[in-house]
Structure 1
Amino acid sequence: MHSYLFHTVWLLPATPTRCWQELVTLGSWEHWWPALAKESWPASPLDTGSELWLGVRSPLGYRLRVQLTVQRIVPESSLSVSGSGDLSGSGDAQFLEINEGNTTDSGPHTELRINWSVQTTKPWMNFLAPLAAPGFRWAHNALMRDGERRFRKWLREHPAASVSS
């Protein structure tokens, strides 16, 4: 298996509560982020031990399936998960309110910090890793940049949570 560490920071034009609601409670991301698909999602709100399956479509054309298990959850603040499937490892997300003076837009803002420490489990990915790892890193970063761009647009165009899961 080949290991990867990813650190992503999104700057979002909404409060941590709103960002949490859209991403975790409502899961509106399936409407604005076409690279991700809910394959299995609990009917009740996420809690420690909740399991969900995500499908991920890479900008390079390959697909991954990942089962996430919630390890720790602090509503409207942070989430830690373990992953299995095509990627094995752990990740966390922190929703931090940032000072209005630190942004170029007025109003409340959130800094969303996303960290992943994963290993690929697909044999072809591990075989190609010595040459393809930079491409896999590029694909992850491109997918996350696209997610941030689309989420910022969604938050601006949908001033109140209006999507049910």
Structure 2
Amino acid sequence: MTARLYDLTSSWTFDSSQQDVWDVITAPDMSWPNWWPGCTLAKPLESQQTDGASKDDVLLSTTATLNFKASLGYTLKVAYHPTFVDSPREVDFDASGDLAGNGRVFLSTDSHGQTQMDIEWRVQPTRRWMTLLSPLAGPAFTYAHAALMRKGESGLRDYLIRQDRQR
């Protein structure tokens, strides 16, 4: 049985600058667990960094494997490997693990000076139980994704506010 393909999108808005948002989401230490509730590092970062590499080159040579605890009680382990970087605007990535496919994060600044972060996912579950349940549980999986993304947006917003206060 072939797993259902999920096309998932989210849009987040922040009062912080585009560069500040970019610096957090592309931090070389993959600080997402510091601000995203339900997110933990599944294993140490894998990187083929070389001395003198640019930040973009470091990002492109790094794979981060993260655990995400869904509101429905299951945990997904997903590895992210950037495939394209246009700093501080866009990062495309391949995903593997419990979800396989690709994604894109695009940052822009709106007319009010706010940073808009658009996230696109095109993934299929690889875990057998998710593949089998996808025809019936697809709406529940989509709901769990949306809830997890709301937590990420809220966590990142709070983290950016704390960073601004420390400056």
**Shared topology, TM-score over 0.5?**
yes
Structure 1 alignment gaps of length 5 or more? 101-107
- Displacement of 1:149: 1.5
The amino acid across from 2:33 in the alignment is E
- For the residues of structure 1 that align with 2:166 and 2:18, how far apart are their CA atoms? 13
Distance 1:96 1:148 in 2: 16
- Say if 1:3 and 1:145 are closer, same or farther in 2 by CA, change over 3 A: same
SS at match of 1:151: helix
What RMSD, in angstroms, separates the aligned Cα atoms of the two structures? 1.9
Q: Percent of counterpart pairs with the same letter?
A: 28
Matches within 5 A, 1:2-151: 2-25=4-27, 27-39=30-42, 40-42=44-46, 45=55, 46-100=58-112, 108-151=113-156
Contact 1:22 1:161 in 2 (8 A): no
Larger displacement relative to structure 2 (43-52 or 4-13): 43-52
Number of matched pairs:
155
SS in 1 for 2:60: coil
User: 1:49 offset after TM fit, Å?
Assistant: 4.0
Q: CA deviation at 1:50?
A: 2.5
- In the TM superposition, structure 1's runs of 4+ consecutive aligned residues that sit over 4 Å from their partners are 42-45
Q: Give, in whole Å, the separation in 2 of the partners of 1:126 and 1:22.
A: 33
Residues 160/71 of structure 1: CA separation in 2 closer, same or farther (3 Å cut): farther
Moved more, 32-41 or 43-52: 43-52
Structure 2 SS opposite 1:47:
helix
Report the CA distance shift for 1:47/1:147 in structure 2 as closer, same or farther (over 3 A).
closer
Residue 34 of structure 2 aligns to a residue whose secondary structure is helix
Which deviates more from structure 2 when the two are superposed, residues 58-67 or residues 27-36?
27-36
Gaps of 5+ in 2: 50-54
Structure 2: distance between partners of 1:38 and 1:76: 24
